Structure 1
């Protein structure tokens, strides 16, 4: 699989593009950031969309930090922070969607709280791993589609 590195400038541009797509038809009241990758785009989107309420949702899907790390059974934490999303417009944010499993888990966890509406957003979708027929309804806003393993500027050691 190819590796594609992204710069801060590219991520800034893609996040702005993503915010414009969201602004067209959605006004989130709460942003749920899938930990860890979703934190940085979620904070930036919170400024662009004027949303002060950001909640973490811990979903671990890889065994370690290595490139193309082995996948594990998802570990989910901090769902109690989603409790007062009832009747709110909630935007779930991650940096990249590969298989779609993390964002599907997040959407399920948020939906259990009966929000007014739930939308999902990601900077990147890796089409080499993404099953469009299975996952399409779960991804509402995408800035860019790629066919590579993405390395974000905040992941470089």
Structure 2
């Protein structure tokens, strides 16, 4: 795991190779606990890639996404997380074993929103994240690593491509 110093402080950098190792190790934690999810729900956007990788690692065919907006920039959030359209049809989830996957439990508010919603609907839901921060208000059921640093994930390391983009090297 590499750390780099930026103008905003130290960052933990997760490479694609380390991501593969992290998701396999996280999947082992789920399997070792005896939890066998019927469905993996990825929290978009940060949890999309980890959610898909976890579904493959666990052999889970049922995959869905919940679109939640909370962070607007590094260290900047909305007042409260909110679920965005398109909305996932959760009608089939009550009684199902659901693994909710996200990239990081930073404040934990996004993960808590989704977990509370699934609990109210009667799902047996557990949570898995790559990273947990010490300030998170929720302790995920499964976490690969604890950190207090801002994390650069391989899928979000570069800025979005706009209409005036140049070729990325």
Task: Determine if the TM-score, normalized by the shorter chain, exceeds 0.5.
Answer: yes
Corresponding residue for 1:99?
Answer: 107
Once the 2 structures are TM-superposed, how far is the Cα of residue 108 of structure 1 from its aligned partner? 1.0
TM-score calculated relative to the size of structure 2: 0.82
Once the 2 structures are TM-superposed, how far is the Cα of residue 36 of structure 1 from its aligned partner? 0.5
Match for 1:71 among 68, 77, 88?
A: 77
Corresponding residue for 2:69?
Answer: 60
Inter-partner Cα distance in structure 1 for 2:104 and 2:57:
19
1:27 matched to 2:23: no
Inter-partner Cα distance in structure 1 for 2:145 and 2:131:
5
Inter-partner Cα distance in structure 1 for 2:29 and 2:93:
22
Question: Structure 1 2/52 Cα, relative in aligned 2: closer, same or farther at 3 Å?
Answer: same
Inter-partner Cα distance in structure 2 for 1:69 and 1:99:
10
- Helix, strand or coil at the partner of 1:83: coil
Alignment gaps of 5+ in structure 1: none
Inter-partner Cα distance in structure 1 for 2:114 and 2:129:
13
Match for 1:5 among 8, 13, 23?
A: 13
What's the C-alpha RMSD, in Å, of the aligned pairs? 1.4
Once the 2 structures are TM-superposed, how far is the Cα of residue 135 of structure 1 from its aligned partner? 2.1
The answer to which structure, 1 or 2, has the higher relative contact order (CA under 8 A, 6+ apart) is 1
- Would you say the 8 A contact 2:130–2:143 is kept in 1? yes
**Residues 56-112 of structure 1, C-alpha deviations (whole Å, 9 max, x = no match):** 10110022xx4x241102121355422210111000000111011011001011112
Corresponding residue for 2:23?
Answer: 15
1:135 matched to 2:134: no
1:51 matched to 2:65: no
Inter-partner Cα distance in structure 2 for 1:40 and 1:135:
22
Inter-partner Cα distance in structure 2 for 1:26 and 1:150:
28
- Helix, strand or coil at the partner of 2:121: coil
**Which protein is richer in helix relative to its size?**
1
Match for 2:46 among 37, 47, 53?
A: 37
Q: Which runs of 4 or more aligned residues in structure 1 lie more than 3 Å from their structure 2 counterparts after TM superposition?
A: none
Q: How many residues align?
A: 147
Match for 1:88 among 57, 82, 96?
A: 96
Corresponding residue for 1:125?
Answer: 132
